[in-house]
Structure formats: C-alpha cells, structure tokens
Chain A
Amino acid sequence: MPGGRYPAEATTQLSKGSPCHAGGTRSSVGCRGVWIHCGVMQLPSPTDSTPPATRSPDVTGSHEQVAGVTGTFMVKRGLADMLRGGVIMDVVTAEQARIAEDAGAVAVMALERVPADIRAEGGVARMSDPALIRAIQEAVSIPVMAKARIGHFAEAQVLQALGVDYVDESEVLTPADEENHIDKRAFAVPFVCGATNLGEALRRIAEGAALIRSKGEAGTGNVVEAVRHLRSIVGDIRRLTQADGAEIYGWAKRLAAPVDLVAEVASTGHLPVPLFCAGGLATPADAALVMQLGAEAVFVGSGIFKSEDPMSRARAIVEATAHYDDAQIVAKVSTGLGAPMAGQEIGAITEHLADRGL
C-alpha cells in the first residue's frame, strides 16, 4: 500500500518540527503567504484545522495562499511517483530542453556538459551556471532537475534557491566530500541519488533521498553497468523478502544500512521510494530492457543528444519506455533512428564514475 511506504524517519522528523541545521533550507523560494516549509515551523497534525484560502475562485492569478504544508517527504516522493513510466533527459541548452519536451520527456536534467563530454574533457565538473538553469526553466513547463556535487550542500542550496524541481546529488560531477553525502532531510527540494547496490540505495534513502536511480556508467553509451546495478538492487530485494526475523540484522550489517529500512524492504518487497535507472542507456531497446528488469522510469544522458538524430531517438525512447513489454511497438520505434552515440567498452575506460560516493 502506497501510504505505508514512507520511511519512518521522515514522518518522525516532520512531527517533531525540528529546526533546520546550519546547512538547512530556510528558502525564500515558495515561501509565499502562509506557506510552511519542512522543519522551519511546528507542523500541524493531519487533524488540525487549516485556515481557509483567501483567493476567490473567479480571480485569475498564478498563486494563491493555500494554507498547506510544503517540503514534506510525501510531496517530495510524490513528484517521483508522477515521473514513473517516463524518460528524464539530459539537456545542455534551452533549445535541447524544448526538443526534449516536444519528444515527450517527463522532466529534463539541466547541465553544462553531458557525461560523455565530462569524460572526454576531464577537469572538475561542478553545478551548472544558474543562468543556464533559469533559461531552461523558462523554456519548458515540465519539471527541471539539476545536479549538485556529492556532499556539496551549498550547491544544493543554490539549486533550491533557483527553484529547481529535483536535485540530483550526482557521481557524474566531481565529489566535494569523500566521506559524507548531503543531509537531504534538511531541504524542501527533493533529491535523487544514484546507487550500485541495495545497501547504497538504503543509505541514500536514510539521508533523505526521495528517489533512487541505479548508477550505471554515465557517458559510455554502454548499458552493461546499468544492468549490473539494477539486477543487484532488484535481486537483493527479492532475496531479502525471504529472510527470517533474525536474518534481517545480518542483512543490515552486510548492506551497511539502517535495520528499520532493511526490515521495511523485507516486508514490502520494494524500496520505500521509486527506483529509476540511469547510466549508459542509448537505444529504445535499452529502455525496454531496464524497465523489464524492474526500473520504474529511465534517465537518458548523452544517449540522446550525442546521437545522429536526437528528436527521433528521444521520441522513440519515450515510446519504448511506455510500451516496454510490447516488442512490436519497440521494434517499430527502433526503426530508422540513425546512428546511436558511439559508446565505449567498460574495460576501456579509466575512471569509473559509479565508484564515487558509495
């Protein structure tokens, strides 16, 4: 049951109304009227009466005072739920963002260089220029995500101040902290994090991630690592559901993950947040493959705009993700797309991005 799938920690934190820590999020974005952000004020219990909205229904306007609670784990995870069955596309310009939206993307990831270029050019990869993110936000009406470096909570604060819809704490950028990830519970903006295995996924969820993506190996155009990571996560979930009460503790120890989250996965048979797939997808059949392996949506990075005909390929990957178990449709949309991105053998690459931030 969806209502029972939220991690207990989030609920506890909300009901306590704990103050933001120093790295926190007293964001001015979205603080209009009586809006209350997660952790900033004491939150009402669900039975508290809420003051009425003040806008009359015949007034045309973009915002009204809704007397609602924002930044909760429910709304963070809720957006991830709405992206399911969709394709999130990496874009580096407003024009690419429009192409992605026209092709049916459910969201775009705004960044300065796609992973294939980061890999080729080297150097430190950082958060994108706010001007680029703003230009992309203005160009499209679908959600806009952006990447922060692992552990770089100040970049995440900037992205939240810009009003991005999701922050990807991403191994594709150069890590800023080799020991710690961002304390994602302190933010009103939701976070997605990568994972190569179940333990990593649960550690990120414990830190407050509202969405997990299997890491794969970004910028390679090679789906093999995405398959390895997805199979590892889904396979361990399947095995964990067979564990008895005593074995849960052994699993928690092996996974280096909180025992309550391990117990929750053992009883529900799925992560407490959606599981998407990323890293190396380049064709409609790649999308169909990972969806059948248990991914609930896909991220496509270099695979679209490094191909010969990005618009057609983007459309085809959207269709294949929606109809992933209908091989007739996947065959039809895979036809005549031009050359995919060249791609690389995993053995030929020197830096494995997936090894960052475990």
Chain B
Amino acid sequence: MEVGILALQGDVAEHASALRDVGVKPRPVRVPGDLTALAGIVLPGGESTTMSLLLGSSGLVGPLAEEIASGLPAFGTCAGMILLASSILDGKPDQLAFGAIDLSVRRNGFGRQLDSFERDIEVAGLGDGPVHAVFIRAPLVESVGAHVEVLGRLGDGGSPVLCREGGILVSAFHPELTPDRRLHRMFVSIIEERGR
C-alpha cells in the first residue's frame, strides 16, 4: 500500500516514519503527477497559509480536491486539519479549505507558542489507554457537522480534537511527533475499510 504525504512544507519526515512503522510505503506529493494510484494521503502539520499558497502554485489544488471528492481517504494533522475543514476562522481571506470534513476550525485557537501544550486524550474505540497528544499553536474546533464522528475531546465535554467523517480523519494535535502509532494504524484501517 502506498500512501501520499503532502510534502510542500511541514513535518513530512515524521509522518513518513510513522507510515513506515505501520507497514505502509510513504510517497511525498509535491506536484499533480505524484497523486497517481495512491491508497490515501496525509496532510501534515506545518503552516496552513504557506501550504495553501503552495497548493495553488504547484497545480495540486484541483487534482487533489477531485481525488478527495472521489473518495481518497485523507488524514490531516493540525495544519492538515485546517486544510481539510469546511470553514476556517482567523485564516487569511484567500486561504484554501478542501471542505472534506464538516468542521469549523479556528487557526491558533489555543493561542501562541507559549500556549502550546501536551496532555492525554481518551480516544473512542482505541485500546491500550489514552493517547499522549502534542498541540502546537493548534487549531480549535468550534463546531462540528451532524455526520462528523468525534473520536476524542479535551476531557469530558471539552472541544473535539480528533474527528472522522467517512474516509477523512483529522486531529488538532500531532500523533506523528510521538512514538505511539495507533492513530496512523487507525488511518490504515480506514483505508482498508473503504476498499482502497
């Protein structure tokens, strides 16, 4: 199985290493030709405004939007979550949103770097205890569509930090920065479940 990683900017190497750990071959995606015959795609952490601009100039935005619309499973972490969301608050006016998952997210919703934090998150349906989650200038999910499954929150009744809708999985935190591979394994299961 070959899974793409949007490799225009961000922590691509960490996702590549996580994918290898779960038995998947990672493929960096920088131009439209890199999208051919992928089983899924990861949108990494990084700066969403930079990635948005480079998605436009590389010609990836159209072909990638078509792939996602036709069912390509996608996993977005932090900036990747922002790119996949349906609505972005505090973004740049021309900032791109693929609208692949019905979420409204606020960029840097927890504040600046001094407010970046780590803590444990209970994830629905995941065995072996909580996930230790690292939030870096993270987006804050402000509202969630009716068909979105919230898999993890900041404590009981806290804001959603891990969500899924169909083949789209998003986290406000960075599972790629810690050695725990359960969420990358979850993404691979989603790919398999959707017959890709």
The answer to whether A68 and B118 have CB atoms under 8 Å apart is yes
Question: Is A50 in contact with chain B by the CB < 8 A criterion?
Answer: yes
Question: Is A117 in contact with chain B by the CB < 8 A criterion?
Answer: no
Residues of B within 8 A of A54 (CB): 158
State A27–B17 Cα separation when bound (angstroms). Answer: 36
State A81–B175 Cα separation when bound (angstroms). Answer: 13
Question: Is A245 in contact with chain B by the CB < 8 A criterion?
Answer: no
Of B7, B120, B159, which is within 8 A of A57 by CB? B159
The answer to whether A322 and B30 have CB atoms under 8 Å apart is yes
Residues of A within 8 A of B91 (CB): 141
User: Given A55-B158, A86-B46, A322-B30, are A69 and B113 also a contact pair (CB < 8 Å)?
Assistant: no
Determine the residue in chain A with the shortest Cβ distance to B135.
A68
The answer to whether A104 and B53 have CB atoms under 8 Å apart is yes
User: Given A55-B159, A107-B47, are A85 and B10 also a contact pair (CB < 8 Å)?
Assistant: yes
Residues of B within 8 A of A68 (CB): 117-119, 135
Question: Is A82 in contact with chain B by the CB < 8 A criterion?
Answer: yes
The answer to whether A78 and B114 have CB atoms under 8 Å apart is no
Question: Is B164 in contact with chain A by the CB < 8 A criterion?
Answer: no
A9-45: contact bitstring with B at CB < 8 Å (1 yes, 0 no)?
0000000000000000001011010010000000000
Question: Is A79 in contact with chain B by the CB < 8 A criterion?
Answer: yes
Of B45, B107, B160, which is within 8 A of A82 by CB? B45
The answer to whether A69 and B117 have CB atoms under 8 Å apart is yes
* Size class of the B contact interface (CB-based, 8 Å): 35 or more
Interface residues contributed by chain A, number (CB under 8 Å): 65
A43-70: contact bitstring with B at CB < 8 Å (1 yes, 0 no)?
0001111111111111010111011111
**Chain A residues engaging chain B, CB cutoff 8 angstroms:** 1-4, 27, 29-30, 32, 35, 46-58, 60, 62-64, 66-72, 74-75, 78-79, 81-86, 101-102, 104-107, 141-143, 160, 163-166, 188-190, 318-319, 322-323, 326
User: Given A78-B177, A82-B45, are A56 and B7 also a contact pair (CB < 8 Å)?
Assistant: no
State A81–B22 Cα separation when bound (angstroms). Answer: 21
16 contacts between A and B (CB under 8 A): A2-B177, A35-B117, A53-B157, A54-B158, A62-B111, A64-B154, A79-B136, A81-B45, A82-B78, A82-B137, A83-B47, A85-B12, A104-B53, A142-B50, A164-B113, A165-B112
Of B35-43, B67-75, B140-148, B188-196, the one touching chain A: B140-148
Q: Which of B1-41 contact A (CB under 8 A)?
A: 7-14, 17, 21, 30-31
| Chain A nearest CB, measured from B104 CB (Å) | 9
Question: Is B162 in contact with chain A by the CB < 8 A criterion?
Answer: no
State A83–B13 Cα separation when bound (angstroms). Answer: 12
Question: Is B115 in contact with chain A by the CB < 8 A criterion?
Answer: yes
The answer to whether B12 and A319 have CB atoms under 8 Å apart is no
Residues of B within 8 A of A190 (CB): 113
Determine the residue in chain B with the shortest Cβ distance to A107.
B47
B76-101: contact bitstring with A at CB < 8 Å (1 yes, 0 no)?
00110000000000111000000000
User: Given A84-B13, A319-B57, are A165 and B113 also a contact pair (CB < 8 Å)?
Assistant: yes
